[in-house]
Amino acid sequence: MPDRHTERPYDLVLFGATGFTGRLTAEYLARHAPADCRWALAGRNPAKLERVRSDLATIEPRLADLPLLHADVTDPGSLRTVAEQARVVATTVGPYLEHGEPLVAACAEAGTDYADLTGEPEFVDRMYVAHHARAVETGARLVHACGFDSVPHDIGVWFTLKQLPVGVPVRVRGLVRSNATFSGGTFASALTAMSRGRQMKQASAARRRVEPRPEGRRVRAVARRPHHDPVTGFWLVPLPTIDPLVVKRSAAALDAYGPDFCYSHYVAVRRLPSVVAGVTGVGALAAAAQVGPLRRTLMKRVPQGEGPSAERRARSRFSVRFVAEAAGTTVQTEVSGGDPGYDETAKMLAESALCLAFDDNPPSAGQVTTAVAMGDRLLERLQKADLRFDLV
C-alpha cells in the first residue's frame, strides 16, 4: 500500500453524490470502502448532501458523521480547497465538457488523483492539452472514463493480452451486447458529441500535435463497416464511442501490447434487421443533434439525474466479447456483469477510486488510462467485486 499523504484529511472525496449515479456510487462506498477509509461527500447543495448522508447511515451507522464539503463547478476556489484536502477525487458531475474542467485543473495543480465517468472524447482531448503536463509535474493521475465507458473494454483487453503470446503483433475486436437502458447523462453526452463534430476534430488534432507517439511500435484503432463475424456468428456494427480511443492510448503507453497492436470496437447483434434498424436510428439521432431546438427537446425526454428503478436495473446485463489473434493463435475472452449504465458503472468508479487511493499501482502521472494507472490491481478488484473476466 502506498504511503498516505498524512497532511491530507481525506483518502477519497466523491463529488456529485446527489445525482442518480453519484448516489449509487456513494452507496457502494458505504458498503465496500475499508473501515479506515477517510472519505467525504462534496457538492453545492448542503441539504441534498445531508439527505444522502442520512440514507448512507442506514447502510452503515458510523456514516452519520460522514464529512460534507462545499464544492461548486462555478467556484474554482471551492474545488481547489477540496482537491488540496484529498488524495483522490471521484466525480459524477457531467456533462463533463460543460462542467468538468475546473475540477480537473484543481486536481492537476494540487497533485491529487482524479477519476470520472466521462465518455466524451472532446473533453478528454482538451484536458490532455490543458492539464496533462502540469499533472505530470505534480504527480497527479488524471483517469477519465472509469465507468462502463471504458473500464470493461480497457481492462478487458488488458486481461485478454494475458492469454496471448508476448512480443508479437496482436489484433483484437471487442463485441458489446446489453439489454440495459441508457442514462440521461449518457444520452446528453452522446447528443452533444454528435452536434460537435468539428470541435471534436479540432480537439483531437490539437492533442496529436503535442502527444508523443510510441517509438518503434504501431498502435491503431480501426473498425470495418457493418459485417457478419464468422467466428462469433454476430452481425457487427462499428460503435463510435470513446472506448477504442482509450484502448489505443493504453496500447501506446505500454510495451505489453506488442510491436503492432490493432483494436476494433463493435456492437454485436444476432439478426440483420436489427443491424438495419440500429444504423437507421443512430443516423436519425445524429441528424437531429445538429438542430439545436430538436436536440434540447430530445434531452428533456431523457432527463439527466434520473434513472431506472432497482427492479429494471436488476434485469439488465452486459457482456463484451473479445476475439484476439496473435501469432496464429485465436483467443476469446468475455467481460460481463449486471446493469452497465448505473449499478456496474457506480461499482467501477468506486473501485477505481479505491484502487488509486490504496493499492500498489504502477508508477504513472498525468492523464492516463485505467490500464496504465492501475492495470492488474484494478482487474483484481473488479473480479472480487463480481465482474466476470472469463476465458471463453
pLDDT at 197: 83
* d(C-alpha 48, C-alpha 185), whole Å: 19
User: Do residues 316 and 181 lie in contact, with contact meaning Cβ atoms separated by under 8 Å?
Assistant: yes
* d(C-alpha 37, C-alpha 355), whole Å: 12
User: Do residues 123 and 100 lie in contact, with contact meaning Cβ atoms separated by under 8 Å?
Assistant: yes
Average pLDDT over residues 344-358: 98
My answer on whether 238 and 377 are in the same domain is no
Average pLDDT over residues 208-235: 94
pLDDT at 284: 61
User: Do residues 12 and 37 lie in contact, with contact meaning Cβ atoms separated by under 8 Å?
Assistant: yes
H or E element that contains 113:
strand 113-116
- Indicate whether 30 belongs to any domain: yes
The tens digit of pLDDT for each residue in 3-18 reads: 444 589 999 999 999 9
pLDDT value at 241 more than 70: yes
pLDDT at 7: 81
My answer on whether 227 and 243 are in the same domain is yes
Average pLDDT over residues 286-311: 70
Q: What confidence tier does 299 reach under pLDDT thresholds 50, 70, 90?
A: low
pLDDT value at 38 more than 60: yes
pLDDT at 289: 66
Q: What is the DSSP string of 291-336?
A: SHHHHHHHHHHS-TT----HHHHHT--EEEEEEEEETTEEEEEEEE
pLDDT at 203: 97
pLDDT value at 100 more than 80: yes
My answer on whether 199 and 323 are in the same domain is yes
My answer on whether 243 and 136 are in the same domain is no
Half-sphere exposure at residue 157, Cβ-oriented, CA atoms within 13 angstroms:
35
My answer on whether 40 and 119 are in the same domain is yes
* Residue after which a domain boundary falls, among 314, 337, 360: 337
Residue bearing the bigger pLDDT, 271 or 80: 80
pLDDT at 285: 60
Q: What confidence tier does 286 reach under pLDDT thresholds 50, 70, 90?
A: low
- Indicate whether 5 belongs to any domain: no
> What CATH number did the domain enclosing 60 receive?
3.40.50.720
What pairs with residue 143 in β-bridges?
115
What does DSSP say about strands 260-269 and 170-178: parallel, antiparallel, or unpaired?
A: parallel
My answer on whether 268 and 295 are in the same domain is yes
When mean pLDDT is compared across 43-47, 59-63, 247-251, 274-278, the lowest value belongs to 274-278
- Indicate whether 3 belongs to any domain: no
My answer on whether 55 and 75 are in the same domain is yes
Q: What confidence tier does 167 reach under pLDDT thresholds 50, 70, 90?
A: very high
Query: What is the domain count for the chain?
Result: 2
The tens digit of pLDDT for each residue in 173-207 reads: 999 999 877 666 666 666 777 778 889 999 999 99
My answer on whether 181 and 142 are in the same domain is no
Residue bearing the bigger pLDDT, 187 or 100: 100
**Sign of the CA dihedral running 348, 351, 357, 359:** negative
pLDDT at 129: 98
Quote the pTM value: 0.93
Q: What confidence tier does 1 reach under pLDDT thresholds 50, 70, 90?
A: very low
My answer on whether 284 and 301 are in the same domain is yes
pLDDT value at 2 more than 80: no
- Indicate whether 226 belongs to any domain: yes
Range of the domain at 78: 10-147+343-387
Average pLDDT over residues 207-225: 95
**Average pLDDT, rounded, for the chain:** 91
My answer on whether 139 and 258 are in the same domain is no
My answer on whether 203 and 136 are in the same domain is no
pLDDT at 386: 96
